[in-house]
Structure 1
């Protein structure tokens, strides 16, 4: 039952103790995730930011309930927040310096914390002011109350006030409460109860992550609002055009929008606005050059260097400066006229970029987005198996930057890649002499010869194997699969396992495939018109049922492999198969 003094009622409760070891710290750990990262549950959001905060030393549960009731009656007018706070909640004091809203820890002496959170839309930054919520953090009673505010237009969040409550008796039970005087058919309650509440319970129950070099949050070094607006602008300006005319073999939907996200981050990091003249830069190992092009178009004077050109380079205007050049790190490799060195998946150059920035000029900074791990003179070798290689490598590059005199920051980008941790080195604490820099470099390994990758990379993916070997392996596998086909059946039931297929191939053939950076699975997948390899199981690929495809020049004269080789022929009729039945 809801008391006369409380406008909330329990709609969902985890009555069984989650774990006897869970404490108030665990409760606030889960609330912190929802407070700081609402976009992980609500996909319409890009993120949020706290725009106002304070300590309410005289606020009580009843005061919060009266505040909620008044706001509902007034239909959530956020412009009335300032007078409402003093009227219903008493005096608001400033929070102590260092209070972290992203990582709440129980502090009963603070009584109630008052926060105003602004929700940021993925697509329309103009709606942000109309989508806010007021949050009350009650450490004394282990309660977190969320009161949504919205004005005209479509809201990006629930319309109902709601509350999370931790009860210890002993062990932790979680109660989820919703504003009691709600419309009977309000859909917000269902989303809150079935989607949000289980996620918060999951975060509360999760074991705290051990401290890591890599931050858990993303875009922590830039203004979220500005980044969102910049990315949406660049996406409309460059995205559709480059996806349409992309000349590379790579997936444009990934690589185009990934580079636009990186460009947006750099423009915000450099505090560039449209029309500004941005800092100068060199992108070492620029690849397709799109990042250089976008930054040039946005007013930054820059240059891209790579050991070979790409087809897409011919598309860019003359104002996009791209050069074929092999960078050989040495005491004479200096970029004194540039403010930033960029290493975006720069591989073997990655650890060298802090060194080159340090010796170029006192004002030269760097941005790194590492991928493949290299040290100064070869592949990076793991030293601590307790961490992943990637985590350890980020720490290694950060230490290189610190040894070169840089103030190092680590952040995460929001890009479609698993390797999205970036390192920023700037504001050098002290200029380090070139002799000391190279003494540090040469002390890290006995070998002192830098080997750049060749300008022309040999294709080694089993496509260059002798034709006779490929045909022999295909024949071995298909013959074994034919033996398993039952009378009247077309497909092999259950398929053929990779382990059984491997037993058919002689060791000398396997060795030859390995030399081409592949193996049996790679070879079979290269013959994708015949085989389908998934989950370690080989099956025959069903011919495509597509009459329009049959009439295209690409397929219409190609004979159907199944028609002439399979014991039961092609499973499709002549007019339905994309290939030619001869």
Structure 2
């Protein structure tokens, strides 16, 4: 079949320009993917297996959240293992007796806090929103539901380590909070979502992925804050597994005022509105109230001597600020306690129906439309393939704006209607799944064929929604009533779902 005019236009206007740009760009720099470079591998493996048996399997079986327990439970077990081995080595190197304290900022499900506390480390977690699993940990855990605004009152002078495990908008602030809390405060961050100090992070360095560019930005923040930055790759089921660690400073305590002025200027240069936001913090021997960790008496001081060597002391001097209750960036916005659902599922029904109908008409009347024969011998119009760029041109600007505000736009809405449309390769077509699940390609393993068929058979009797094709396609549904997983008419619906439509 010869290509349509629209296909040729897409090849010339879109694909060729993309290919030219890709050829001009330098090749991406390959990151160092070697993991656990800073730890003894044997010690890590032994402790990980122990913690996996002790905490992992039980939590997977009793996971009350909607997220995947296999991923989140064992990821937190691996992060806890990494921190525990790191802290044990620190105690040996510095001759510490007490176990280090911690604060997990943006603690999420709280499992990391639970494991670290159960292993003897005093600490707490803070998150803007409580999770269902928090109640399962009992009274032995300290989890606090509160927003964290980077400011002079949200310091952690009594805490040894600040943790940022997928801490979203707090990620670039954690090195700043650690630096300003005390000269002794250390940090661990595992960057994930890309956030700047008061907005989404944007930018990509030539020859690097956007993730690597973001890691370099966070690393720069750490260095500006005066930390000697360490980088390592964790063994976790995630593509974003690079952590940054700040255990020591690149300056002496007497240089605190100068370094903090540098921090302030750097933050101001990246924020939208930083006028009169923050004055430099001065290092003194006076106490400054830090309400978030004021009850923590377990901090271990690690100081730098005049020649730059680390030593431990029994004091825990705090930083004194010359501002009161001032946020460091007025334009910073913490996450809302109740997260707004923005995936095109909350749009008005009439708007959704209008978009679906327009796209359906375009696909059905495409130039490369195909007629097929159904299992009961009827002709059924399968439509053609329409580029998403053509679909966008069918919609009014007001509709596009409303869809764009729902994080994804047209493509997200169409994928929500996967029973009607198949979206792949930048194009849209009608979805039709052959009811004969035995006619699969020869390269599909027999066990997988059997599983696909079993899953299909399980779906057959579930008729809780009306069939969209049966009600709206001019040729009806390509499947018979017996083989369609949706109801052909209200009388075919399972009782109690008479008003639902797929």
Structure 1 SS opposite 2:382: coil
Structure 2 SS opposite 1:459: coil
Q: How does 1:312-327 map to 2 (within 5 A)?
A: 312-327=133-148
Aligned to 1:541: 431
Aligned to 2:371: 486
CA–CA distance in 2 between the matches of 1:499 and 1:404? 45
Aligned counterpart in structure 2 of residue 431 of structure 1, from 253, 256, 271? 253
CA–CA distance in 1 between the matches of 2:479 and 2:175? 61
- Cα gap change, 1:408 to 1:495, in 2 (>3 Å): same
Aligned to 1:474: 356
CA–CA distance in 1 between the matches of 2:28 and 2:206? 15
Aligned to 1:241: 58
Aligned to 2:195: 374
- Cα gap change, 1:365 to 1:536, in 2 (>3 Å): same
CA–CA distance in 2 between the matches of 1:432 and 1:505? 62
Q: How does 1:248-267 map to 2 (within 5 A)?
A: 248-267=65-84
Q: How does 1:290-301 map to 2 (within 5 A)?
A: 290-301=111-122
- Cα gap change, 1:235 to 1:538, in 2 (>3 Å): farther
- Cα gap change, 1:321 to 1:537, in 2 (>3 Å): same
Which runs of at least 4 in structure 1 moved beyond 6 Å after TM superposition?
209-212
How far does residue 487 in structure 1 lie from its aligned partner after superposition?
A: 6.1
How far does residue 408 in structure 1 lie from its aligned partner after superposition?
A: 1.6
Q: How does 1:127-146 map to 2 (within 5 A)?
A: none
- Cα gap change, 1:267 to 1:533, in 2 (>3 Å): same
CA–CA distance in 1 between the matches of 2:395 and 2:28? 46
- Cα gap change, 1:304 to 1:577, in 2 (>3 Å): same
CA–CA distance in 2 between the matches of 1:255 and 1:352? 24
- Cα gap change, 1:383 to 1:256, in 2 (>3 Å): closer
CA–CA distance in 1 between the matches of 2:466 and 2:200? 46
CA–CA distance in 1 between the matches of 2:108 and 2:353? 36
- Residues 332-366 of structure 1: CA deviation (Å, up to 9, x unaligned): 33212221100112232222222222233343211
Whether 2:284 is the aligned partner of 1:399: answer no
CA–CA distance in 2 between the matches of 1:529 and 1:265? 44
Gaps of 5+ in 2: 1-26, 92-96, 275-328, 374-378, 436-454, 490-502
Paired residues of 1:496 and 1:537 also in contact (CA < 8 A): yes
CA–CA distance in 2 between the matches of 1:493 and 1:239? 49
Aligned counterpart in structure 1 of residue 340 of structure 2, from 458, 466, 473? 458
CA–CA distance in 1 between the matches of 2:428 and 2:254? 58
CA–CA distance in 1 between the matches of 2:135 and 2:194? 31
- Cα gap change, 1:405 to 1:498, in 2 (>3 Å): closer
Aligned to 2:39: 222
Whether 2:464 is the aligned partner of 1:579: answer no
Structure 2 SS opposite 1:465: coil
Aligned counterpart in structure 2 of residue 521 of structure 1, from 399, 411, 421? 411
Whether 2:101 is the aligned partner of 1:285: answer no
- Residues 201-230 of structure 1: CA deviation (Å, up to 9, x unaligned): xxxxxxxx9988x64421101111121222
Aligned counterpart in structure 1 of residue 390 of structure 2, from 500, 506, 509? 500
- Cα gap change, 1:342 to 1:487, in 2 (>3 Å): closer
CA–CA distance in 2 between the matches of 1:251 and 1:526? 20
- Residues 135-163 of structure 1: CA deviation (Å, up to 9, x unaligned): xxxxxxxxxxxxxxxxxxxxxxxxxxxxx
Structure 1 SS opposite 2:126: strand
Structure 2 SS opposite 1:238: helix
CA–CA distance in 2 between the matches of 1:571 and 1:413? 49
Structure 2 SS opposite 1:572: coil
Paired residues of 2:381 and 2:475 also in contact (CA < 8 A): no
CA–CA distance in 2 between the matches of 1:491 and 1:289? 52
- Per the normalisation by structure 2, the TM-score is 0.66
How far does residue 283 in structure 1 lie from its aligned partner after superposition?
A: 0.4
Aligned counterpart in structure 2 of residue 356 of structure 1, from 177, 191, 197? 177
Which has the bigger relative contact order, CA under 8 A and spacing at least 6?
2
Count of matched residue positions in the alignment of Structure 1 and Structure 2: 368
Gaps of 5+ in 1: 1-208
Aligned to 2:469: 562
CA–CA distance in 1 between the matches of 2:213 and 2:465? 51
CA–CA distance in 2 between the matches of 1:461 and 1:432? 51
Between Structure 1 and Structure 2, the one with more strand by share is 1
Paired residues of 1:482 and 1:566 also in contact (CA < 8 A): no
- Cα gap change, 1:278 to 1:550, in 2 (>3 Å): farther
- Cα gap change, 1:338 to 1:472, in 2 (>3 Å): same
CA–CA distance in 2 between the matches of 1:491 and 1:271? 67
- Per the normalisation by structure 1, the TM-score is 0.57
Which one has the largest radius of gyration? 1
CA–CA distance in 2 between the matches of 1:524 and 1:336? 50
CA RMSD of superposed structures (Å): 2.9
CA–CA distance in 1 between the matches of 2:353 and 2:222? 52
- Cα gap change, 1:227 to 1:576, in 2 (>3 Å): same
How far does residue 368 in structure 1 lie from its aligned partner after superposition?
A: 0.8
